[in-house]
Amino acid sequence: MSDEIFRNPRDGLIGPFSPRLFTLQTAHGPVNGPQFMPVGTQATVKSLTPRDLKEAGAQMILGNTYHLCMRPGHKLIERLGGLHEFMKWDGPILTDSGGFQVFSLSGLRKVKEDGVVFSSHLDGSKHFFTPELSMEIQASLGSDVVMAFDECPPFTDDKATIAKSMDRTLRWAQRCRDYKLKPHQKLFGIIQGGMFLDLRQECMEKLVAMGFDGYAIGGLAIGEPIALTHEMVRQFAPKMPADKPRYLMGVGRPQDLIVASAHGIDIFDCVMPSRNARNGQLFTSEGKVNIKNAQYIEDRSPLDPACECYTCRNFTRAYLRHLFVAGEILSAVLNTIHNISYYLALMGRLRVAIAENRFDEAAAALYKK
């Protein structure tokens, strides 16, 4: 790739680039990176059926360990045949560890060396999450990729605090590594270290010594300026093991996916496309569309003339606006079909550009959208 630099006035796509194609083999099929995972928090991507996801081009989806443990319970899901059978999704599934959700409870939890005591967001009942319990839950769910239980500290420039948290993450990672999962399951370690490159490097080296099947960058997109997120990914992602999948957790906007793909990230997840769809913000090849705006009352054009999804092939902007303003359930369905399709098509275009050795040109054009 060339050394040409592209900059956006706000946060920027900066070269030189090191994008790559990477295939993760799982028991339920391959995952071709760079790839985006729709988020299915409670055994469903909100408003979509598995058929919708397949038609949109989804390869792997994400399930949430914390939420599925709280409701309906991992043992119930296991008795009913595991998460794949339960939700009738026959493709790969990655489950997060529950760490981010537990730590986002803030005043409802207390961190100890053995794990985290927290109160359920559902009924206030007390629970104790440990690395071993996170592994037990994910083993019961039967996901293809299991995430190690980590501590996700809030954004801070206090290096001592981040270092202490990172050390605990490493101790918990070893306990996860020692747990016997199901034969088909792969275990990914999570690299913490905040905005300190040396701590990130130390954490990664110690995780690699433990021997995980893949590595994720955690603790980003949690409130820091997006320019810092991009800079950390730019400096750190190319240092990650080249023979293992690289996963950037919880990111993000289409521009963020392009930036991270430029520097060698393989897998992404974020609630943004589905959440924003339900709120009426749609991503298109012509830029974002806020479908509730009055300018679309009589707009007979498709949402995105460059998109081949079910929504864009069949419905006008005027109809989509009507559904949203009327509060119809179909609004969430059609909007989410489009946003998820847009994200997955974007990743497909990046993979083709990498294969054809024209990533620089494609990234610069797509980033402006």
Which active-site residues does the annotation give?
Answer: 96, 269
| Number of Cβ atoms within 10 Å of the Cβ of 183 | 6
Q: How far apart are CA 146 and CA 212, in angstroms?
A: 10
Is the separation of the CB atoms in 266 and 23 below 8 Å? Answer: no
**What distance separates the 2 farthest-apart alpha carbons in the chain?**
61
Beta bridge partners of residue 173, listed in sequence order: none
Q: Cα(338)–Cα(317) distance, rounded to whole angstroms? A: 12
How buried is residue 357: exposed, middle or buried, by Cβ count under 10 Å (0-12/13-18/19+)?
A: exposed
The CA distances from residue 235 to 92, 289, 312, in Å, are 30, 33, 38
Q: How many helices (H) and strands (E) does the chain have?
A: 15, 16
Q: Give the 3-state DSSP-derived string for 256-287, with helices as H, strands as E and coil as C.
A: HHHHHHHCCCCEEECCHHHHHHHCCEEEECCE
Give me 110's structure tokens. 């207390």
Helix-strand-coil split of the chain, %, nearest 5: 45, 15, 40
Kindly tell me the sign of the dihedral angle through the C-alpha atoms of 235, 241, 242, 247.
negative
- Residue that has been written with the tokens 């070893």 in this structure: 174
Both tokens assigned to 266: 């393989």
Residue 34: how many CB atoms within 10 A of its CB?
A: 26
Distance CA 116, CA 2 (A): 47
Give DSSP secondary structure letters for 232-255: HHHHHGGGS-TTS-EEETT--SHH
Q: What is the DSSP letter of 356?
A: T
